[in-house]
Structure 1
């Protein structure tokens, strides 16, 4: 499936205030992926530059190959980097903040559709799920070595599966004689456990989601990373946009934005979701949610002390 940027029109509309007719400066796309959001922002704003980062080296390699013109013109810069690791602007050798930033926390279509990446329960491939191929922990390690209690907790917390015990029991029994190596090993076991008849939502969906989130530490330190970015990386009047696909992610972003009036303004008290037309065109967008926060320079405001 071709990768379609999620909530693209909404991102373009919310990236800058309407008073910013032709915004300049550098915009940080912290989850570059296939570059759809970045490309659209650069096409719309002729004075804008984009600094694109991604934890997946394959995404950076793709950008280097497919956006040569923008790279040569200096309008696009790419770097292999996990935004969870952001501490200060010195990480990027920058002295000034970004004019805005976007973080799309979903998995890109190429990651899902390439069997060798091990994300999909529809394609047979190694049980991997690592966005960053340099890290050690894989889905196979979790499935083959974690205790019954830890697996149950993982599937409950991240997969939001109320009763994962039957599947976990089957996993533990099966791995005693033959370890799980491929996505189909696990997918077929889950199908058999549920007696799935190829109708409705695939029973492996939330199990695979939970494994992916744990392998890539998608919730671990997310709030701290976004807070660091909000406090240290965004210029006054700049906007931080976050697209989530999981209720736990959205709760973290909502809590951060709601609890940061000292940093600026929460522009999405009501979350932005895809229109029906987008969901029909791209079913993978159905659970996407966009929240936006505008940074303000409030340091100079009076504290009431003369």
Structure 2
């Protein structure tokens, strides 16, 4: 058996995310984003006869979890599912699971994916353009950068990177790839820098950050997958069950906030003295404002600075 690579990962908002689920020891739970298995491990510590199903499409995450959760796997308390979390309902149906007591999402890319240079996620380390969370899929960052039309590049840079220089950057990419393909992350980062005015380059933060984020989201269809999965999760929750979602940028947070608001809002007809049970909203918000990392966590976990946690509870199973 090949030796598993060391999987360094500081779990963000570990206790807040799991504790706000109010875990039942005999419940059925899902970790939709296994990653470094921190949330899964902590949630499992609160289960007695319950069971956890943990999803990840990344083989590295599974290899790590098989070591980190070895005892729980041997005890039959956890099932690892190698699939995109947009397949939530279908994958759980294979285990005859149609209802769950709670679910966790830690959206975005995991620290180890950034840290493994060859994965091509980082604009600070040189590697072939890749950015695939599922390394078995065909579409990678290389195809997006070299094959997408100018207009499609502009669209994803605006939509997923919210970059005001989207057109200038797309034009520079188009000009460079007409000469030869753009192969590596640092090559792309340099092209992005060359498209920006000097005053923009002097600003805090890496000038390629938003464009790399946009390409990564496109490659993995992150927002589409998250929307589909969260919708399925809400449907699968038992009444009283809870959903915890950690986001790391405005697009993810806006998506989560919008879905939660849609399911927690009811238009009450005028003159109705009391709301019938069947007309109650499907969700109620556990926290109206997102939970942020504590000062203590921020000291040792830089990734936690942009993290926001939103939690909601199922209060009605009527469609």
User: Is the pair's TM-score, using the shorter chain for normalization, greater than 0.5?
Assistant: yes
Q: Choose the corresponding residue for 2:247, options 244, 258, 274.
A: 244
Q: Which runs of 5+ in 1 are unaligned?
A: 301-306
Moved more, 68-77 or 84-93: 84-93
Higher helix proportion, which one? 2
TM-score for both structures, normalised by structure 2: 0.85
CA distance, structure 1, for counterparts of residue 318 and residue 156 of structure 2: 41
What SS does structure 1 have at the residue aligned with 2:292? coil
Q: Contact 1:25/1:98 (CA < 8 Å) preserved in 2?
A: yes
Shift in CA distance, 145/94, structure 1 to aligned 2, threshold 3 Å: same
Q: What residue is the counterpart of 1:186 in the other structure? A: 188
What SS does structure 1 have at the residue aligned with 2:243? strand
Shift in CA distance, 95/282, structure 1 to aligned 2, threshold 3 Å: closer
Q: Contact 2:242/2:311 (CA < 8 Å) preserved in 1?
A: yes
The alignment yields a C-alpha RMSD, in angstroms, of 2.2
Q: What residue is the counterpart of 1:3 in the other structure? A: 9
Between Structure 1 and Structure 2, how many residues are aligned? Answer: 295
Q: Choose the corresponding residue for 2:142, options 133, 140, 143.
A: 140
Moved more, 110-119 or 2-11: 2-11
Q: What residue is the counterpart of 1:303 in the other structure? A: none
Shift of 1:61: 2.1
Shift of 1:88: 4.8
Shift of 1:198: 8.4
Shift of 1:57: 2.1
CA distance, structure 2, for counterparts of residue 241 and residue 92 of structure 1: 24
Moved more, 190-199 or 263-272: 190-199
TM-score for both structures, normalised by structure 1: 0.89
Q: What residue is the counterpart of 2:152 in the other structure? A: 150
CA distance, structure 2, for counterparts of residue 270 and residue 186 of structure 1: 37
Q: Contact 1:143/1:180 (CA < 8 Å) preserved in 2?
A: yes
Q: Contact 2:25/2:47 (CA < 8 Å) preserved in 1?
A: yes
Q: What residue is the counterpart of 2:206 in the other structure? A: 202
Q: Contact 2:168/2:195 (CA < 8 Å) preserved in 1?
A: yes
Moved more, 191-200 or 262-271: 191-200
Q: What residue is the counterpart of 2:289 in the other structure? A: 270
